Structure 1
Amino acid sequence: MATGYWQEILSKGLAVPSDRHLEDLTVELTSMLGSPDPEQRDGTAYPALATWIERGIYDDLLPGLGDGMAAGLTVGLGERGTDSVFRRSFSALALAECLARDNERNILPSDRVFEWGDRIASWYLRERDTRGYVPGKGWAHAIAHGADAIGILAQSPHFATNELTVLLDVLADRLLMPGSDLLLAGETDRVAAATMQILRRNVISLKILEPWVARIAQAANPFNSSGEDDPYALTGNAQAFLRSLHLQLTLAGDPPPTRPDLILSLVDALKSTNFPFLSLPAASA
């Protein structure tokens, strides 16, 4: 990669250079999305693509660009601990930028948005590399990036109650996936933020939301676990999510209309999964 070339572009505010075709630049940036070098991936490729999408450079090419990013979600899918995760994870972010542009400008047909939504959901539930920060290589963060993409999907005018309900289920399925590692790099906060975006659409009733919270709460109680496995490892992701969502619902400056009732459901869930810490200590003799 011509690192000096891209550093010059960055220094000029990411103006599109005139000495090369946009198609060639895009191919190079797409390849750099999968680089294990964070300077190429985080520092160059993603900011360049995101900026050009936001500025409308790709408006006429958005369907093809998004298709290319969607294809990146399958590169090495199923691998754990390999560098292929960077291509998948940052393809999700770039695809989310395409969707955000459509949310703003209504460029894409609905079937393309639904297709990309299906591909994001399929990748998210099949992703097996849940590393956050990789020493020497920077952020992989596939679970966080997938949540970000779902949060942007939730803002799509093409998505209504049925599609948003599916997104909620995808987030819950990801959190409760058997054998998943503990998420320790803020991923549950990002999943909660995506949930908030769904809730802000105000089209999903409490009849759906309350059982959804109850399902997560059932998996968040370490005191109901049995066997030789660490109960906190088994329930930690669900528990951390409930706490994150409660925090965001309570403190968010732009809360969803369902906030009061949903907070009550979350409080009940947190009480039922933290009950040993909520009772008064026994009086000393």
Structure 2
Amino acid sequence: MRETSARRARLAAFSRWFPAEQDLRGHDPVLGWLHAVAHGADLLGSFGTHAAVRPTDMISLATERLLTRNDYVFAQQEDDRLAQAMALVLTRPEVDEHQALAWLDTVENDFEGLPSGPLPAYAANCLRTLRTLYLVADLGVRRSRDAAPVVLPHRDALKRRLAEVMAPVFQHA
């Protein structure tokens, strides 16, 4: 019982911290790796593949992180790590097609409000993450470095929806 309680407490703390963290520097010469988004993504992937955690909660949390306003453009593969984590969560067998795609409505609605001109940093980060997720959906996601890629159950529908959501943001789409 204590382990479940401790896990819930860690998940609750993570769920508060991950979308709210504003110090997104990848590396500080004095402090070392801070890498909040990348390390948070790794934890999101771990939580999101655990049977006791609802996968839709982790996808919602990832979406919230993607749409959090900030001025830092990902420079240390944060987008890759977040897309990888999201893909891992989307491999859960209980995630149906609707759940695998529904979070993209939130992203699409946010993109509708983007100003013309240069993209805000958060939107650029989101697009980069979505492009990587498209690639991972196409090629499969690895649960570890040496593992064979796992095909996402709703890969074709996800790729179609990702392309729809990203198309209006691309100037020459």
TM-score w.r.t. the length of structure 2 is: 0.83
- Residue in 2 that maps onto 1:200: 91
Q: Is the 8 A contact 2:55 2:89 kept in 1?
A: yes
| Paired residues, number | 165
Residue 151 of structure 2 aligns to a residue in which SS?
coil
- Residue in 1 that maps onto 2:68: 177
Report the residue type matching 1:185 in the other structure.
Q
Q: Is the 8 A contact 2:71 2:120 kept in 1?
A: no
Residue 124 of structure 2 aligns to a residue in which SS?
helix
- Residue in 2 that maps onto 1:148: 42
Alignment of 1:215-230 (within 5 A): 215-220=106-111, 224-226=114-116, 230=118
The reply to whether residue 248 of structure 1 matches residue 142 of structure 2 is no
Structure 2 gap ranges (5+):
141-148
Aligned counterpart in structure 2 of residue 239 of structure 1, from 94, 119, 127:
127
Residue 123 of structure 2 aligns to a residue in which SS?
helix
Measured on the aligned residues, the alpha-carbon RMSD in Å equals 2.3
Q: 1:155 to 1:211 in 2, by over 3 A?
A: closer
Structure 1 residue 230: Cα displacement: 3.7
- Residue in 1 that maps onto 2:172: 277
The Cα offsets for residues 198-238 of structure 1, whole Å up to 9 and x where unpaired, read as 1111222222332311322344579x415xx8424352011
Q: Quick check: which has more Rg, 1 or 2?
A: 1
Q: Is the 8 A contact 2:111 2:169 kept in 1?
A: yes
Name the CA distance, whole Å, in 2 between partners of 1:243 and 1:189: 9
Name the CA distance, whole Å, in 1 between partners of 2:119 and 2:161: 23
The Cα offsets for residues 176-219 of structure 1, whole Å up to 9 and x where unpaired, read as 11235222211111111110111111222222332311322344
The Cα offsets for residues 3-62 of structure 1, whole Å up to 9 and x where unpaired, read as xxxxxxxxxxxxxxxxxxxxxxxxxxxxxxxxxxxxxxxxxxxxxxxxxxxxxxxxxxxx
Q: 1:265 to 1:217 in 2, by over 3 A?
A: same
Identity of aligned residues (%): 24
- Stretch moving more, 143-152 or 265-274: 265-274
- Residue in 2 that maps onto 1:210: 101
- Residue in 1 that maps onto 2:156: 260
- Residue in 2 that maps onto 1:127: 21
Alignment of 1:44-193 (within 5 A): 109-159=3-53, 163-193=54-84
- Stretch moving more, 123-132 or 177-186: 177-186
Name the CA distance, whole Å, in 1 between partners of 2:81 and 2:122: 20
Name the CA distance, whole Å, in 1 between partners of 2:88 and 2:30: 33
Structure 1 gap ranges (5+):
1-106, 279-285
Q: 1:156 to 1:234 in 2, by over 3 A?
A: closer
Q: Is the 8 A contact 1:147 1:194 kept in 2?
A: yes
After TM superposition, the runs of 4+ consecutive aligned structure 1 residues lying more than 6 A away are none
Structure 1 residue 143: Cα displacement: 1.1
Report the residue type matching 1:225 in the other structure.
P
Residue 129 of structure 1 aligns to a residue in which SS?
coil
